[in-house]
Chain A
Amino acid sequence: MTDSKYFTTTKKGEIFELKSELNSEKKEKKREAVKKVIASMTVGKDVSALFPDVVNCMQTDNLELKKLVYLYLMNYAKSQPDMAIMAVNTFVKDCEDPNPLIRALAVRTMGCIRVDKITEYLCEPLRKCLKDEDPYVRKTAAVCVAKLHDINASLVEDQGFLDQLKELLSDSNPMVVANAVAALSEINEASSSGVPLVEMNTQTINKLLTALNECTEWGQVFILDSISNYSPKDEREAQSICERITPRLAHANAAVVLSAVKVLMKLMEMMAPDADFVVNLSKKLAPPLVTLLSSEPEVQYVALRNINLIVQKRPDILKNEMKVFFVKYNDPIYVKLEKLDIMIRLANQSNIAQVLSELKEYATEVDVDFVRKAVRAIGRCAIKVEPSAERCVSTLLDLIQTKVNYVVQEAIVVIKDIFRKYPNRYESIISTLCENLDTLDEPEARGSMIWIIGEYAERIDNADELLESFLEGFQDESTQVQLQLLTAIVKLFLKRPADTQELVQQVLTLATQDSDNPDLRDRGFIYWRLLSTDPAAAREVVLADKPLISEETDLLEPSLLDELVCHIASLASVYHKPPSAFVEGRGLGSSRRALPTRSGSQDILESSPTHGERSGVIPTQESLIGDLLTMDLGGPPVASSVPAAPFASSGLDLLSGGLDGLLSDSPSVPPQQAAAAAAPSVGLLGDIFGLAPSASASYIAPKQMWLPAARGKGLEITGTFSRRNGQIQMEMTMTNRAMQPMMQFAVQLNKNSFGLVPAAPLHVVSPLAPNQSYEAVLLLNPTGPVQRMEPLTNLQVAIKNNIDVFYFAVVMPMNIFFAEDGQMDKRVFLSTWKDIPAANEVQYTINNVNLSADAVSSKMQQNNVFTIAKRNVEGQDMLYQSLKLVNGIWILSELKMQPGNPTLILAVKTRAPDVSTGVNTAFDAILHS
């Protein structure tokens, strides 16, 4: 007699037949009928039509029948709420039954009937059951509170069930405590406010720890999880909790072990990392974790995901256990991949030989995903453990020789990373890599190979042919490969401009004109413009030194790691995502968990200075010279006349303008007088119409010796700066004091505070005969890259001629940066003056000025310092002036002068107080001129 007979009746009138059987007088027949109904229900058949008949069977003293009816009720009450009311009386009666089993069953089933009307009747019986004398009933009732909360949260709070639940935390029976904890934590989690309803304190924790020893394994998990949410008030409390929890590590249930590990990991954060207690605890953690790995594969997987977090947080715990992570061929694939990951994390110099021989073994296995990851792991070892790099590379080369397609592709991808980590060490193997060019069909491998070819174009004789072969199918490649190809060809071009011009034009056309991909197009345009305007800059950008790649590429971000450590043993630890990222309804309310901190460490965090964004980038002397040396003086003149549309149909011509410069070995400076003249002509017009004050009136400092002949190998330079008609100029007298003529002059400026760059190339009469002098004027534009210098007005200049390159630094007078549009509206002036904090105000005195206020005003006006207002206070003349620097900084000043007294008091107010000194110097110089 088996249950399968209940499924055999598949005749037409099945429901009808059951109905009559349910209403039969015979108990035996009734029971059999209910069993049939349940059996149909379990396989998903709809038997809800029998609801009234089944409920009729509820009044019985046969427990099995009662249970079966209850099972049925739970399933269908939702769809038949009115009928379900009929059952309420029986429930209420059963809650008073002398048999605790029936009391518990009734309260349990009532909670599962998710019908609002029924919940009202549930409250009274539940309240009684929570105080029942039998612990079995109490523990069932505790869970029922959680059920009720799920159906109607406010009802639970109004009826005071939460307080009753809290009382159960001190129950004498550990099973009741465990269930109360479980119910409370579920209610807390569902709480919309995100504020836990029950705060743990030392007493509750102590009760929980006592219950922990005696309750079931499942109860232990609940209790441990809720202890993990508690933050002990000091290190001693944390230690005592740890001591009481450590024995759980020896539990047979893996869930208990891992939950205990979570609590310990969290509490260890509160202690000094080198304390004996922590060291001992760490030793105790390793064996249970290792044991988890000999359980069922599912347990192994979860354990491995968690171990992955643990080795990142505390690498010491498992540092000697490398071997347990070795892969067995019959491990499920998801276990294999995780093990591999951890092997690499644990790899160090002492075990690398073992790890490598294992990885090599794995690379010959059958499973493609696994083999790929193994090959990748070899590359990661090379990057992580430097002394092993050599062996890793040779292992990878061996693997490439196997010619197994996916192995080769994966190997090339990792070799690219190795190249980046150890530049100029293993490039000898490039030729081997190139042999496998044809077999690559995956985007990542193709991209990597193209990167290698582009990066080492100068070492590969036929790089252009190789890249050209890739270019043929450009349209069909994936974006990743297209982008790599574009960059690689541009690199090749910059390294070997002579014979690859056609190639680069071809790829630029393909990228900009034939592609729909905005990324590709944008990159194409950028390269195009770079190449056409300033190939030197292009070289600097495209061939710049790459930052070294870090050792561990896939470490979790520390703050995320800390959060995940708090969630060890939970789903979050399996996904390696914080719960807020995937658990529904955890969006706003839930507070993120954070590791507790050691009491001492807090101060360090707070005292750590938070530097503003303008923390000065002040290079040291050496690095400055280094900067200058890397400047490409052989570069072509700056083609400032290029219009801003390189993608017009004439783009190719424009490009060639730049190309010429790059190609010609001798930088024959093209006659750019036109360009040079163009800029001043605006000023000339302005002159004619009298828009600007007479240029000659503005202050120009006398020429100074910039480069003495002794340092300049015969070239002597004296010079100064001026502002004429809104154009900053560098005026130099270049004298040849040597015996031979000089030629091929060029100039370059280092990055500076105001972003000055030459607007036109330096023009010097060529050749400059011995003892001849030439007045050179270099127009400057404040449009270049900005780098803060010390002092602000420092400018580093490099001049080149056919003899050598000479470097010198000069200090520019501030007044050349005073812009013509520096007149501020009166009201704006007033509000700005008030707006700037008093701390930014600096006072200076200027001596020996014998000018009247009006004279000062007009003199300053000629230098773009505009008088906004003039007042006379107690016999003192006050001049309020405004000026604006070319980089947009406004400066307000107040000049106080007493007639007859040659000493002036200058107050400068600006948002960037760094410039004040320079302004003072400029004022001083102007007033004394």
Chain B
Amino acid sequence: MIHSLFVINHSGDVFMEKHWRSIIPRTVMDYFFEAQRQVVKDNKGHEDVPCVIATPHHYLISIYRNSLYFVAVCMSEVPPLFVIEFLHTVVDILEKYFSECNESNIKEHYVVVYELLDEVLDNGYPLATEPNILQELIRPPNIIGNLINTVTGKSNVSSVLPSGQLSNVPWRKADVKYTNNEAYFDIIEEVDAIIDKTGKQNCSTVFAEIAGKIECCVRLSGTPDLTLSFINPRLMDDVSFHPCVRLKRWENERILSFVPPDGSFCLMTYHVGCQSAVAIPIYIRHNFFLPKENSQSQTGKIEITVGPRQTMGRVVENLQLSIPMPKFILNCTVTVNQGRATFDPVTKILLWDVGKIDPTKLPNMRGQIHIQSGALILQSTPSVNVQFTLTQIAISGLKVHRLDMFGENYKPFKGVKYLTKAGNFQIRM
């Protein structure tokens, strides 16, 4: 199972280590650093460090999040996904505690982090990973908490066993009380797509799918039992649920029935695959020229126009285009009729913050690309990474039918919001 955890920052320092079994010397990280150096040498990004590395005696399984590497050290055959999922859970927990999981936050709350790590694993086996339970065991640091601790002389470690730890609904605290009972559901869909350049007018979709999730914020007293039904549940190709959802009812009736955890959580994620037609809300018209290899010219041209398409009557908002330029490009000078465009000469990313699309006056960008003198020009075309949001619509067409509560006899306030975002949305130029 998981023997040890090392947390490593960008500059390659181990600034946190935790051993759940015998102590493994830090030198084991040399294998990881070697892989990291290799990646840097090959001119690749930090995320390109392989996530499973075999060393003569250990296996290093790592994730890269928030510019930090979390490296777990194992000594026996383990399911690597188990370790990866666990590491992500740890980061999620730390984010819940400190709102952001970065180096300074971890350093600032060393002891809490250490106590937490001790609580999540025992001898390499996960012990308690539900945020609800952990928060009862070890109180998150906040100003009021510190004040109470100082005044009463108590610590932020609970001395009683959390009630939910062993109940049938370990995700929920017992005896929750609210004056305002509310339940909010956000249906968030992300469009992952690759749009190809072929066919100038209507860009052809190479691949498009929707990854959706339902984020909830439930503040209800007692132990409420909720059911949520959809108008068109068959849209979803694949679903995965929070453990609170009763699978039987979903299989038989396509109804989500559950006792919710207290507070914010992700109720389900779903997937609309590329077999179904996915609406693509924008299109791009572009021109991209690099000077020919043997020509004297050192400048190329770029011109991009963006327009709405299949938006289901909504306005495309927060539109942002980022274009990673080839390494041999020195600078881009562009003018835009809307928003702001900047070129970062270090990362070579041309970023255009467009904002809203006004269908009467389409956003447009044109300008010149300057090539590094003497550089070898590869006739490659970059991809455009697009960000956008559409509010009050789930692009798959998914709609909530109704939400009912049983088990308690107050009337909660209920709300459902829809949002569509671009996930990994790429357009090849």
Contacts and interface: CB of A to CB of B under 8 A. Distances in A.
Give the interface size bracket for A toward B. Answer: 35 or more
Interface in A272-304: 287-288, 290-291, 294, 296-299, 301-303
Contacts of A846: none
A288 B114 contact: no
Given A147-B123, A254-B81, A298-B84, A63 B158 contact: yes
A724 interface: no
B108 A3 contact: yes
B296 interface: no
A581 B300 CA distance: 54
Interface in A663-698: none
A505 B81 CA distance: 60
B51 A301 contact: yes
A175 B166 contact: yes
A570 B80 contact: yes
B88 interface: yes
Interface in B87-134: 88, 107-112, 114-115, 118, 122-123, 125-127, 129-130
Given A218-B126, A225-B79, A247-B251, A294 B161 contact: no
A27 B152 CA distance: 13
Contacts of A146: 123
Contacts of B78: 570-571
A78 B22 contact: yes
B1 A186 contact: yes
Q: How large is the interface on B (under 10, 10 to 19, 20 to 34, 35 or more residues)?
A: 35 or more
Interface in A11-60: 27-28, 31, 35, 38-39, 42-44
B242 A252 contact: yes
B52 A301 contact: yes
Interface string B243-259: 10001001100000000
Contacts of B209: 294, 324
B300 to A, nearest CB: 16
Which of B62, B125, B326, B423: most chain A CB closer than 10 A? B125
B34 to A, nearest CB: 16
Given A255-B79, A583-B76, A136 B166 contact: yes
Contacts of A143: 122-123, 125
B126 to A, nearest CB: 4
Interface string B261-281: 000001011010111000000
A924 interface: no
Contacts of A404: 378
A569 B115 contact: no
Nearest to B271: A291
Given A250-B240, A287-B237, A583-B76, A571 B194 contact: no
Given A64-B157, A71-B118, A294-B211, A302 B84 contact: yes
Contacts of B378: 364, 366, 404
Interface string B70-89: 00001111111110111010
A463 interface: no
Contacts of B155: 31, 62-65
Contacts of A147: 123
Most buried by B among A64, A354, A364, A367: A64
B125 A182 contact: yes
B359 interface: no
A324 B79 contact: no
A313 B382 CA distance: 37
A290 B158 CA distance: 42
The interface residues of chain B, by DSSP majority, are classed as: mixed
Contacts of B18: 42
Interface in B10-48: 14-23, 26, 42, 44-45, 47-48
Contact of A4 (B107, B168, B242, B423): B107
Contact of A302 (B23, B81, B88, B379): B81
A456 interface: no
A497 to B, nearest CB: 44
A834 B118 CA distance: 77
Nearest to A363: B380
A112 B123 contact: yes
A326 B84 contact: no
Nearest to B245: A250
B170 A569 contact: no
A156 to B, nearest CB: 14
Shortest beta-carbon contacts, A-B, top 4: A287-B238, A64-B155, A64-B157, A218-B126
Interface of B: 1, 14-23, 26, 42, 44-45, 47-48, 50-52, 54, 57, 59, 62-64, 74-82, 84-86, 88, 107-112, 114-115, 118, 122-123, 125-127, 129-130, 141, 146, 150, 153, 155-161, 165-166, 168, 170, 192, 194, 196, 198, 206-207, 209, 211, 237-243, 247, 250-251, 266, 268-269, 271, 273-275, 324, 326-327, 378-383, 385, 423-424, 426, 428
14 contacts: A1-B150, A39-B110, A63-B159, A134-B166, A214-B168, A251-B241, A255-B81, A257-B240, A291-B271, A298-B51, A323-B206, A364-B378, A571-B54, A575-B54
Given A2-B109, A111-B123, 19 more contacts: A2-B108, A3-B108, A67-B115, A71-B118, A75-B19, A114-B22, A179-B125, A216-B129, A216-B170, A218-B86, A218-B125, A250-B238, A251-B241, A255-B84, A294-B192, A303-B81, A367-B44, A571-B80, A583-B77
